[in-house]
């Protein structure tokens, strides 16, 4: 497999590990948004949220919770963003599921993406129905 995260998990590529257990690895991002930017991933390869097992996803999200708290305490920041870019169109650069924990500073200048509005309640209900039918 040519997955860079699988190679990191296998110890073939060096990384700075901040957390590891039997199902999860968390490393510092080498191109951080802010210092302390952590990547949390399942050790079992899964490209995205639809492919990961429930057990592995549970282990990963519990690690995200633990690491988010550690980022706040350890770095003295008052908040952080947790993101997961699911598929290339959403910005996923590496095809191995991973969550970003991005420490936030009041002075970092980062802004969330712009929000839009639906063109009326009818359109909003149409979109909701499409999602419900796909469940």
Q: Is 20 a member of any domain? A: yes
Domain that holds residue 23: 4-107
Tally the C-alpha atoms within 13 A of residue 12's C-alpha that lie toward its C-beta: 8
Q: Annotated catalytic, 96?
A: no
CATH code, domain carrying 39: 3.30.428.10
| CA–CA gap between residue 108 and residue 34 (Å, rounded) | 8
Q: What is the pLDDT of residue 44?
A: 98
For residue range 70-100, what is the model confidence (pLDDT) as tens digits?
999 999 999 999 999 999 999 999 999 999 9
**CA nearest neighbour of 46 among 36, 31, 56, 61:** 56
d(C-alpha 78, C-alpha 67), whole Å: 14
- pLDDT, residue 114, reads 87
Q: Is residue 49 part of a domain?
A: yes
**Residue 119, domain member (yes or no):** no
Measured in whole angstroms, the distance separating CA 46 from the mean position of its chain's CA atoms is 13
* Residue 57 covered by a domain: yes
pLDDT at 4 over 80: yes
Instruction: Indicate whether 121 belongs to any domain.
Output: no
Structural domain includes residue 129: no
pLDDT digits 0-9 by tens, 12-45 = 999 999 999 999 999 999 999 999 999 999 999 9
Domain membership of residue 127 (yes or no) is: no
Average pLDDT over residues 55-59: 98
Query: CA dihedral defined by 89, 94, 100, 103, rounded to 10 degrees?
Result: -100
* 125 in any annotated domain: no
Tokens of 131: 């999602």
pTM to 2 decimals? 0.93
- The total number of residues written for the chain in this structure: 135
Active-site hit among 37, 96, 98, 100: 98
Indicate whether 112 pLDDT > 90: no
């Amino acid at each position: 497999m040519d997955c860079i995260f699988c190679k990191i998990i296998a110890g073939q590529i060096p990384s700075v590990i901040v957390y590891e257990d039997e199902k999860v690895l968390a490393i510092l991002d080498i191109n951080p948004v802010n210092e302390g930017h952590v990547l949390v991933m399942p050790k079992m390869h899964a490209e995205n949220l639809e492919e990961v097992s429930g057990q592995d996803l549970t282990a990963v999200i519990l690690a995200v919770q633990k690491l988010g708290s550690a980022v706040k305490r350890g770095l003295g920041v008052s908040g952080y963003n947790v993101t997961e870019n699911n598929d290339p169109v959403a910005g996923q650069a590496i095809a191995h599921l991973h969550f970003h924990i991005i420490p936030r500073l009041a002075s970092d200048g980062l802004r969330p993406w712009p929000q839009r509005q639906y063109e009326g309640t009818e359109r909003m209900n149409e979109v909701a129905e499409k999602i419900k039918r796909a469940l």
